[in-house]
């Protein structure tokens, strides 16, 4: 039996008893609690009209005169006549008394008043402290600060900062109306002693002033029904069982448990919370009542979900959440508590293995030897993560529930577990977000953990797909999952335990693979990868790629971060910028050549070269897949192309194919202008391996551009094709069969000539067609070694011949240079490089080329357009350089063009011309003299040609030609 506590002395020392010893029978107040007690008693005497005890620090036993308190006639709750003449008696109630007896400090105190409402007493408290000198007397305001101008930095010295009235809500079983304030750093609730009277026709009680015993009997548990009388400094146990139950570590209700829970169903959860917090046992009668169907229904319907959530929150933040979930599980309360009351959820959670989940959480939290320590060390680092761990555990039974349709149209469906957290527990958004993220990423997390475990456990096994052990793979996963990744990984771990059916051995295997995964994260130092800053900003990247900023940057920066994670030693932003800058075509060609030869760039270490190319390669693949392909995929597929980028094997239907209308194509949208620049950049940085890997992504946009009805986009397509072919291995082009497809797209472009096509547009297009055809020739028919050449024409020779005939001779015939000098200039600009590629085989074209060039040079109005004369002179040089064995036969026509052109330029120079014009004319003369110099080198060695005599004869005929011949002849 409990000891007699009727004579407990004020200020007796409290000591927490060892296990098995009796609960102490005394309470020792702290200094702050002593000061609060005196303040409250002084307020009581102030109300009763007596001199405050603090004047002489009187003991509470001193006699006090009694005067009646004003009748609170304006209150709903009436003071009983027998209370009207009593002095005010104050008591600390409930949890504070229990905790003090257990040696646990508390900052929350409920103060019960015998004859006043909490609101009345609170207002009197405020009135009392506002009297001069009173607040300072209790240390609530520093000396000299009574005017209310104190800094307020010390919460414990504030003067009752505010009185907050919490309304009663009988419909939700919140019967007590309380007044809340903060004094001396303590949260104080004032409420009168209550008696609850229930009627048969109402589930809501009639509240009235009650006696201490009546107030104690209406409470949730005997251990919470003891009072500390401030007037007598004695502990009062009006249930006669509170102190005894504490000694026996039992939780029971003061009255019949069924009626207690029916009156306020939330008491079911409160008792579970106290049992888990105090390590007490709920008595059998109470447990039976808790599982009663009527109580469960009342708990689900009658109690606000906010109050339910608060109790669950306190349980899971308490010292033993496992016991709380075990009681909820064993008493059949799960479906009542963890549900969404706003809708009917058809899914019925399977609780068969729920106990294994919360037991596992307890075992991991307690670091039992069989479970790798790194799991708790990494995933349960602090109280908040431990709390989230229990939240996840409590919702695991809902993890396999089907998605719940969203009532709003075109909105994503809900995860059932998220609804349970948000609507059933009224959890804050951050909790709901963790649950949603855990379910959203669960499949990816589980797959990555499995792959990482498998690749580390069996490293010699052939890997398929990504390297799940690599720093960039793991780091980017952490970034995708975000700051709450630990809770998400934890959720997935628990879900696997919940689904496992093979017992403890399987549990150990799950622990092992998650431990290996976490060890790998720790090894690579990517636990905080979600907070890593990219070396480049979006603007930095846009400048390096020579394109406009846009929405594409966000995902592109992820690629930069992935590269950054793979190369942790690179910390200088300039290194990343240099890695993605577009280089000159010559540099790219050299790099590609070196790559094909298996070597590295000159002057660069192999590992540096690899790193420098790795970032552009990653970005290129990203842009092709996520930026470029979506913009071009909306158009119809190319009829001669398979999805893999091969020539289609389907027979042609023979019908003419007209260009589709692409006026509304996404890639033509000015807002998507970056797409073309990015495609240009991609083609400029991909080497042969990159082209082969991304072949199926590269071909469709290029052919779309070339087939567009607009000549502008056709030209862009040809430019892109040239960049592609420069890095295309001949074997790849042959294997895919696309060489002929490219030919069929390129040759018809030479028909876009004046006057059906404007000269400017025609020139711009054909200026890109020539390089594309040259690159196609090199890719389809690589140059042969001299020893491999035969007397018959090779496919390469035939292809180059066709370029010259259809690309230069035919267009200049249909569009005469004299009429369309700009177009002729563009065409002839490409002649020297074509002649060089043909070599000696260009001899066969001398009969057509030399008259064309000679006529251009000797045209009377030719000096009016100097660029055309320059390219014509360079074309003549190409004839001499590559077809020199037969030049002597055609020297007459060549000399005609050179001499006539020289004289016309001299005549033009004799006129008054400006400096720019003078420079253009001198440029023409320079190229003419160069051509004569080449003739000197060829013809001076020909026996039947008297070259020097011929020159002298021409000089004799016109002295102005001396400047053309003599300097080269002497």
Task: Indicate the range of 148-157, 837-846, 869-878 predicted with least confidence.
Answer: 148-157
Q: What percent of the chain has pLDDT over 90?
A: 56
Question: Taking the domains of the chain in order of start, what are their residue ranges?
Answer: 31-248, 256-336, 355-525, 531-623, 836-970
Q: Per the confidence metrics, is the pTM higher than 0.75?
A: no
pLDDT in tens, 678-735: 898 889 888 888 899 999 999 999 999 999 999 999 999 999 999 999 999 999 999 9
Lowest mean pLDDT among 189-198, 199-208, 883-892: 199-208
Q: Are 47 and 116 in contact (CB under 8 A)?
A: yes
CA 730/CA 963 separation, integer angstroms: 49
Mean pLDDT score, 405-427: 93
Per-residue pLDDT, 477: 97
Beta bridge partners of 195: 208
Q: Which of 441-445, 560-564, 867-871 has the lowest mean pLDDT?
A: 560-564
Cα(499)–Cα(503) distance, integer angstroms: 10
732 phi and psi, to 5 degrees? -65, -45
d(CA 959, CA 691): 60
- Asked whether the predicted pLDDT for residue 637 surpasses 70, the reply is no
pLDDT per residue as tens digits for the range 125-152: 988 988 998 888 888 875 455 444 444 4
Model pLDDT, residue 597: 44
* pLDDT of 301 above 70: yes
Q: CA–CA separation, 638 vs 547, rounded Å?
A: 28
Closest CA to 635 of 652, 671, 670, 660: 660
| Position 349 pLDDT exceeds 80 | yes
Q: How confident is the model at residue 799, as a pLDDT?
A: 95
Residue range 31-248 forms a domain whose CATH class is alpha beta
Q: Residue 895, class by beta-carbon neighbours within 10 Å (0-12 exposed, 13-18 middle, 19+ buried)?
A: buried
Q: Is the pLDDT of residue 758 over 70?
A: yes
pLDDT above 90 for 804: yes
Select, from the ranges 500-514, 533-547, 593-607, 897-911, the one with the highest average predicted confidence (pLDDT). Answer: 897-911
For 808, the token pair is 């230069």
591 burial type by CB count under 10 A (0-12 exposed, 13-18 middle, 19+ buried): buried
DSSP string, 771-816: HHHHHHHHHHSPPPPGGG--SSPPHHHHHHHHHHIIIIIHHHHHS-
pLDDT value of position 590:
45
How many whole angstroms separate alpha carbon 536 and alpha carbon 298?
59
pLDDT in tens, 641-690: 666 666 665 555 555 555 666 777 888 888 877 888 889 888 988 888 88
Over residues 49-66, the mean pLDDT reads 43
What is the structure's pLDDT at 583? 43
Contact 181, 36 (CB under 8 A): no
Q: What are phi and psi of 314, to 5 degrees?
A: -65, -40
Per CATH, the architecture of 256-336 is what?
Answer: Orthogonal Bundle (1.10)
Strongest mean pLDDT among 316-325, 664-673, 899-908:
316-325
pLDDT digit string, tens, across residues 235-293: 999 999 999 999 999 999 999 999 999 989 999 999 999 999 999 999 999 999 999 99
Q: Among 184-193, 524-533, 571-580, which stretch is predicted with the lowest mean pLDDT?
A: 571-580
- The tokens for 29 are 């107040």
Structure tokens that stand for 952 in this block: 């002298």
Say if residues 699 and 645 touch (Cβ distance below 8 Å).
yes
């Amino acid at each position: 039996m409990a000891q007699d506590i009727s004579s407990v002395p004020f200020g007796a020392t409290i000591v927490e008893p060892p296990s098995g010893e009796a609960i102490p029978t005394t309470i020792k107040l702290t200094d702050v609690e002593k000061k609060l007690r005196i303040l409250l008693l002084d307020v009581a005497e102030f109300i009763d009209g007596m001199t405050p005890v603090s004047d002489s620090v009187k003991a509470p036993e001193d006699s006090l005169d009694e005067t009646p308190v004003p009748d609170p006639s304006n209150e709903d709750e009436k003071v009983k006549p027998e209370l009207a003449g009593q002095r005010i008696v104050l008591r600390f109630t409930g949890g504070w008394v229990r905790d003090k007896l257990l040696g646990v400090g508390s900052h929350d105190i409920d103060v019960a008043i015998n004859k006043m409402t909490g609101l009345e007493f609170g207002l009197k408290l405020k009135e009392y402290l506002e009297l001069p000198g009173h607040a300072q007397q209790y240390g609530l305001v520093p000396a000299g600060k009574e005017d209310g101008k104190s800094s307020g930095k010390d919460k414990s010295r504030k003067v009752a900062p505010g009185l907050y009235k919490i309304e009663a809500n009988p419909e939700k079983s919140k019967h007590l109306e309380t007044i809340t304030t903060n004094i001396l750093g303590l949260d104080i609730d004032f409420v009168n002693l209550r008696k609850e009277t229930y009627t048969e026709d109402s589930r809501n009680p009639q509240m009235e002033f009650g006696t201490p015993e009546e107030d104690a009997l209406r409470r949730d548990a005997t251990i919470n029904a003891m009072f500390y009388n401030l007037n007598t400094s004695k502990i009062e146990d009006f249930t006669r069982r509170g102190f005894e139950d504490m000694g026996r570590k039992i939780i029971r209700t003061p009255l019949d448990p069924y009626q207690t829970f029916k009156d306020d169903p939330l008491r079911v959860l409160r008792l579970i919370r106290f049992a888990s917090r105090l390590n007490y046992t709920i008595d059998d009668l109470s447990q039976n009542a808790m599982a009663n169907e009527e109580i469960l229904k009342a708990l689900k319907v009658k109690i606000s979900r906010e109050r339910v959530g608060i109790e669950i929150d306190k349980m899971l933040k308490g010292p033993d959440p496992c016991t709380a979930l075990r009681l909820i599980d064993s008493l059949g309360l799960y479906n009542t508590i963890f549900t969404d009351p706003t809708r009917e959820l058809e899914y019925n959670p399977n609780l068969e293995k729920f106990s294994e989940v919360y037991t596992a959480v307890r075992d991991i939290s307690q670091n039992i030897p069989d479970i790798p320590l790194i799991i708790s060390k990494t995933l349960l680092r602090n109280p908040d993560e431990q709390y989230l761990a229990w939240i996840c555990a409590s919702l695991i039974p809902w993890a396999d529930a089907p998605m719940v349709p969203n009532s709003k149209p075109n909105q994503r469906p809900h995860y059932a577990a998220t609804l349970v957290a948000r609507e059933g527990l009224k959890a804050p958004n951050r909790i709901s977000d963790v649950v949603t993220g855990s379910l959203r990423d669960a499949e990816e997390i589980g797959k990555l953990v499995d792959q990482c475990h498998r690749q580390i456990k069996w490293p010699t096994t052939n890997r398929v797909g990504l390297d799940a052990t690599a720093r960039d793979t793991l780091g980017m996963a952490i970034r995708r999952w975000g700051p709450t990744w630990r809770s998400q990984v934890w959720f997935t771990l628990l879900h696997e335990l919940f689904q496992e059916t093979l017992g403890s051995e399987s549990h150990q295997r799950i622990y092992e693979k998650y431990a290996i995964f976490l060890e790998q994260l720790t090894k690579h130092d990517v636990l905080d990868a979600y907070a890593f800053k990219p070396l480049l900003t979006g603007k930095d990247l846009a400048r390096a790629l020579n394109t406009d900023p846009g929405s594409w940057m966000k995902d592109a920066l992820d690629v930069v971060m992935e590269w950054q994670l793979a190369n942790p030693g690179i910390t200088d932003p300039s290194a990343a910028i240099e890695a993605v800058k577009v280089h000159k075509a010559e540099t790219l060609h050299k790099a590609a050549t070196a790559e094909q030869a298996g070597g590295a760039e000159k002057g660069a270490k192999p590992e540096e070269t690899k790193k420098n190319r790795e970032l552009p390669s990653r970005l290129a693949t990203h842009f092709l897949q996520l930026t470029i392909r979506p913009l071009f995929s909306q158009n119809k597929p190319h009829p001669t192309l398979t999805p893999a980028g091969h020539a289609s094997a389907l027979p042609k239907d023979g019908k003419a194919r007209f260009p589709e209308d692409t006026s509304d194509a996404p890639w033509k949208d000015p807002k998507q202008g970056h797409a073309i620049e990015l495609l240009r950049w991609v083609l400029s940085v991909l080497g042969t391996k990159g082209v082969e890997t991304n072949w199926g992504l590269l071909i469709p946009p290029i052919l779309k551009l070339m087939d567009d009805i607009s000549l502008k986009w056709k030209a862009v397509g040809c430019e892109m094709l040239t960049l592609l072919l420069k890095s295309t291995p001949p074997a790849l082009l042959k294997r895919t069969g696309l060489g002929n497809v490219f030919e069929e797209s390129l040759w018809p472009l030479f028909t876009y000539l004046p006057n059906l096509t404007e000269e400017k547009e025609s020139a711009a297009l054909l200026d890109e067609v020539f390089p594309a055809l040259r690159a196609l020739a090199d890719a389809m028919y690589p140059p042969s070694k001299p020893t491999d050449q035969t007397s018959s024409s090779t496919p390469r020779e035939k292809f180059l011949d066709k370029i010259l005939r259809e690309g230069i001779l035919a267009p200049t015939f249909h569009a005469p240079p004299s009429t369309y000098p700009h177009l002729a200039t563009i065409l002839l600009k490409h002649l020297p490089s074509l002649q060089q590629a043909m070599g000696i085989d260009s001899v066969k074209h001398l009969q057509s080329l030399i008259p064309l060039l000679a006529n251009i040079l000797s045209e009377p109005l030719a000096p009016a357009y100097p660029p055309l004369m320059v390219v014509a002179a360079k074309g003549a040089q190409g004839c001499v350089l590559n077809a020199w064995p037969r030049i002597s036969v055609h020297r007459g026509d060549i000399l005609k063009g050179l001499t006539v052109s020289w004289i016309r330029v001299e005549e033009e120079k004799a006129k008054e011309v400006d400096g720019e014009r003078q420079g253009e004319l001198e440029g023409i003369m320079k190229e003419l003299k160069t051509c004569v110099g080449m003739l000197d080198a060829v013809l001076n060695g020909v026996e039947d040609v008297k070259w020097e005599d011929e020159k002298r004869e021409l000089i004799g005929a016109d002295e102005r030609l001396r400047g053309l011949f003599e300097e080269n002849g002497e």
